[in-house]
Amino acid sequence: MINFIYGGTVSTKNKWKKALLILMCVGVALGGTYTYLMIDFKREMISPATWQAFSPQDDRFDIKFPHDPKESHEEVSIANKRIEFHQFSAQHQDAFYAVSYLDFPGHWKLLGSQKLLTKSFEMLMENEPNVEEILQQELTSHNGDPALVYKIKQGGNEISGKFIISGNTIYRVAVTYPLTAAEKAEPQNFIGSFEVKS
């Protein structure tokens, strides 16, 4: 009787062990699948297959937009100089993506790239309405060119951007998006895809 119960207990223990082992294997398999799918989903978010490479007609830069951007240009007055300002922009879901640039007079280079970048950011702040907070402002580089990266909070939105100086051109690459959609807007993906052509 004791052997029978003992034998039954061992048999039950073995069944539990097998069941636990099967559950663990299934759990690991499902966990691996979930992790793979999440990584794949995040990869898709960071590099959406639908985004397309774009270069303007003068072929001065490459960037990836969510779809074909609209082009606009106008003459602006900066330091008593009339300068042509160009912009390419696209609205995608809740985010606004834009690349703008202007070619500045050669003597501006005497200021030095750091001063030019800082002044460009200051001018942006003077002309942007309802700026609540400067979250980031840092001198850096972009593919070897002097740059200033910034992030500001403005009326429920966030703007992530970068000023880049290449030769006698200053570029601004920026994404405006709701605070709740920072990851979805993928500003770093957009800004990181910008490349000046020599």
- Can you state the percent helix, strand and coil of the chain, rounding each to 5? 40, 40, 20
For residue 49, the model assigns a pLDDT of 55
Q: Has residue 162 got a pLDDT over 50?
A: yes
Q: Mean pLDDT over residues 171-194, rounded?
A: 90
Q: How confident is residue 59, by pLDDT bands cut at 50, 70 and 90?
A: confident
Name the residue with higher pLDDT: 145 or 105: 145
Any idea which residue has 């160009």 for tokens? 86
C-beta of residue 53 within 8 angstroms of C-beta of residue 69: no
Q: How confident is residue 114, by pLDDT bands cut at 50, 70 and 90?
A: very high
For residue 128, the model assigns a pLDDT of 83
Where is average pLDDT lowest: 23-27, 58-62, 175-179?
A: 23-27
CA pair distance 154, 174, nearest whole angstrom: 14
Q: Mean pLDDT over residues 161-168, rounded?
A: 95
Q: Has residue 53 got a pLDDT over 70?
A: yes
Give Cα separations from 38 to 28, 34, 192 (angstroms): 15, 6, 22
Q: How confident is residue 95, by pLDDT bands cut at 50, 70 and 90?
A: very high
**Buried/exposed 60-71: b ≥16 CB within 10 Å, e otherwise:** bbebbbbeebee
Residue 198 has, within 13 A of its CA and on its CB side, a CA count of 3
In one letter, which amino acid is 179?
L
CA pair distance 99, 194, nearest whole angstrom: 9
Q: Mean pLDDT over residues 70-74, rounded?
A: 93
Q: Has residue 3 got a pLDDT over 90?
A: no
Which phi and psi (to 5°) does residue 7 adopt? -60, -40
What is the pTM for the complete model shown?
A: 0.73
Q: Has residue 11 got a pLDDT over 60?
A: no
For residue 109, the model assigns a pLDDT of 85
